Amino acid sequence: MKTTVKYILAAAAATLGLADAFGRSPVSLNGSWEFRFEAGKPLEAVADATFVSTDIIAVPGCWDVLPKWYLKRGTGLYRRTFRLDEPASNAWLVVDGMGLRGDFRIDGRALGVYPYPYLRLEIPVGPLAAGDHEIFAALDNRFDWDSMKLARPYYDFYFYGGFYHGVSLVFDNRKLRVRTRDYATGAVEIEVVGFAESDFDATLVFDGRSKVEASFRNSRASVSVPDFKLWSPNAPNLHTVALDGVSARFGIRTIEARGRKLFLNGEEIFLKGVNRHESDASLGAATVESQMLVDIQHVKELGANFIRGAHYPQSQRFLGLCDECGLMVWEESLGWGNGQNYTAIDGVDECADEGFIAAQIFQTREMVRASFNHPSVVIFGFLNEPGGYSETTKSLVDALVSVVKEEDSGRLVTFACNRWKNDISNESTDIIAFNSYPGTIPCCPGEPDDLKGKVADSATQGFNTIVARFRERYPDKTIIVSESGCGGLYGLHDPAAGWMSEEFQDEYLGDILETLFSNSDVAGYAIWQLNDTRTYHRNSRNQPAKQLAGFSIAGLYDVQRRAKKAVETVRRYFMRQPSPR
pLDDT score, position 2: 35
Distance of CA 47 to the CA centre of its chain: 29
Asked whether residue 557 carries a pLDDT value surpassing 50, the answer given is: yes
pLDDT score, position 256: 98
pLDDT score, position 572: 97
Picking from 257, 308, 300, the residue whose alpha carbon sits closest to that of residue 481 is 308
Picking from 175, 205, 215, 180, the residue whose alpha carbon sits closest to that of residue 192 is 175
Binning pLDDT at 50, 70 and 90, where does residue 347 land? confident
Binning pLDDT at 50, 70 and 90, where does residue 218 land? very high
Per residue in 283-319, pLDDT (tens digit) is 999 999 999 999 999 999 999 999 999 999 999 999 9
- For residues 526 and 308, the answer to whether their CB atoms sit within 8 Å is yes
Burial pattern 64-82, b for ≥16 Cβ within 10 A else e, equals bbbeebeeebbbbbbbbee
Q: How many alpha carbons lie under 13 Å from residue 370 in its C-beta half-sphere?
A: 27
Per residue in 377-395, pLDDT (tens digit) is 999 999 999 999 999 999 9
Asked whether residue 538 carries a pLDDT value surpassing 90, the answer given is: no
What is this structure's pTM? 0.94
Picking from 171, 159, 354, 272, the residue whose alpha carbon sits closest to that of residue 573 is 272
DSSP 8-state secondary structure symbol assigned to residue 471: H
For residue 136, give the amino acid letter: F
Binning pLDDT at 50, 70 and 90, where does residue 407 land? very high
- For residues 550 and 535, the answer to whether their CB atoms sit within 8 Å is yes
Picking from 75, 15, 88, 20, the residue whose alpha carbon sits closest to that of residue 43 is 75
Picking from 504, 501, 463, 459, the residue whose alpha carbon sits closest to that of residue 482 is 463
Q: What is the mean pLDDT of residues 28-33?
A: 98
Per residue in 442-457, pLDDT (tens digit) is 888 899 999 999 999 9
Picking from 399, 388, 383, 397, the residue whose alpha carbon sits closest to that of residue 421 is 388
Structural domains present in the chain = 27-170 (2.60.120.260), 174-253 (2.60.40.10), 273-574 (3.20.20.80)
Picking from 329, 473, 502, 450, the residue whose alpha carbon sits closest to that of residue 389 is 473
Asked whether residue 143 carries a pLDDT value surpassing 70, the answer given is: yes
Question: What whole-number percentage of the chain has pLDDT above 70?
Answer: 94
| H/E segment holding residue 400 | helix 391-406
For the chain, what's the residue count?
A: 581
d(CA 217, CA 2): 8
pLDDT score, position 429: 98
More confident residue, 540 or 129: 129
Rg (CA), the chain: 24
Q: What is the mean pLDDT of residues 317-336?
A: 98
Picking from 45, 47, 65, the residue whose alpha carbon sits closest to that of residue 57 is 65
Asked whether residue 37 carries a pLDDT value surpassing 50, the answer given is: yes
Chain mean pLDDT for the chain: 93
pLDDT score, position 342: 86
Per residue in 241-279, pLDDT (tens digit) is 999 999 999 999 999 999 999 999 999 999 999 999 999
pLDDT score, position 545: 64
More confident residue, 489 or 344: 489
pLDDT score, position 343: 85
pLDDT score, position 3: 36
DSSP state string for 410-468: --EE--EE---SS--S-SS-SEEEEE--TTTTTT---SHHHHHHHHHH-TTT-HHHHHH
Q: In terms of DSSP bridges, do strands 524-527 and 271-277 run parallel, antiparallel, or are they unpaired? A: parallel
Q: What is the mean pLDDT of residues 185-196?
A: 98
pLDDT score, position 17: 31
Q: What is the mean pLDDT of residues 56-70?
A: 98
Residue 321 backbone dihedrals phi, psi, to 5 degrees: -65, -35
d(CA 127, CA 7): 24
Backbone CA torsion sign across 159, 160, 162, 168:
negative
- For residues 81 and 133, the answer to whether their CB atoms sit within 8 Å is yes
Burial pattern 497-531, b for ≥16 Cβ within 10 A else e, equals bebbbbbbbbbbbbbbbebbbebebbbbbbbbbbb
Q: What is the mean pLDDT of residues 550-557?
A: 93
Residue 564 backbone dihedrals phi, psi, to 5 degrees: -95, 170
Q: Which of 20-29, 467-476, 561-570 has the lowest mean pLDDT?
A: 20-29
Question: What whole-number percentage of the chain has pLDDT above 90?
Answer: 88
Per residue in 8-27, pLDDT (tens digit) is 332 223 223 333 345 689 99
